[in-house]
Amino acid sequence: MSRSLPAKVLGSRSERLSEPQPPLGARIAAYVLLFVLGALVSLCGCFVQALWAPAGLLLALAATAAVFYGGLRLTGTKLGAGVPMIGWFAMLLVLMAPRPEGDFVLAADLTSYAYIFLGAVSGVICATLPTRYGFGFGAPGPKR
């Protein structure tokens, strides 16, 4: 039976739950990298969604969701999707603040609000997908 491209990329629930986890040191390094990557995707997404509307909005949201889901799959924990989301939000807070000159990066328009809302929704969706381990750094939880 032939599987569709999204099914091949995302994998089934049983495939995701049976994936081995990287060692603790590698996961901690991945969390740091994912935080920085989430902040960078937020920075780039703010410019891309404003420059090439509406295609830029779709591109920025796709990159945002890819970082969140990639963190989940890389670490095998829900924290893997949450850490880039924290970096993403931290950068958004900086970009939404007006500068002393009166300039700001993230304008108050429909595409900016859509980017913030839909990006947050994609992060929450990725963070609530089933994983082998819960929120911690991969500490085994109760049997499911």
- Residue 55 confidence (pLDDT): 94
Residue 83 lies in a domain: yes
Average pLDDT over residues 10-38: 85
Residue 10 lies in a domain: no
Residue 8 lies in a domain: no
Residue 117 lies in a domain: yes
Residue 126 lies in a domain: yes
Residue 27 lies in a domain: no
**How high is the mean pLDDT of the chain?**
85
Torsion angle defined by CA atoms of residues 95, 96, 102 and 108, in that order, rounded to the nearest 10 degrees:
130
- Residue 67 confidence (pLDDT): 97
Measured at the CA of 137, the angle between CA 132 and CA 143, to 5 degrees, comes to 35
Residue 29 lies in a domain: no
Torsion angle defined by CA atoms of residues 9, 41, 60 and 22, in that order, rounded to the nearest 10 degrees:
10
The answer on pLDDT for 135 being more than 60 is: no
- Residue 96 confidence (pLDDT): 85
Which is higher by pLDDT, 22 or 82? 82
| Number of domains the chain contains | 1
The H or E element that residue 89 is part of is helix 79-96
User: Which residues, in sequence order, are CB contacts of 35 under 8 Å at separation 6+?
Assistant: 83, 84, 86, 87
What's the CA gap between 78 and 80, in Å, rounded?
Answer: 5
Kindly report which listed range (40-44, 53-57, 84-88, 100-104) carries the lowest average pLDDT score: 100-104
Which is higher by pLDDT, 33 or 136? 33
The answer on pLDDT for 60 being more than 80 is: yes
77 phi, psi to nearest 5 deg: -125, 160
Q: 50: domain range? A: 36-136
Residue 1 lies in a domain: no
Identify whether the C-beta of residue 53 lies closer than 8 Å to the C-beta of residue 45: no
Q: What are 29's two structure tokens? A: 């390094």
The answer on pLDDT for 11 being more than 80 is: no
pTM: 0.82
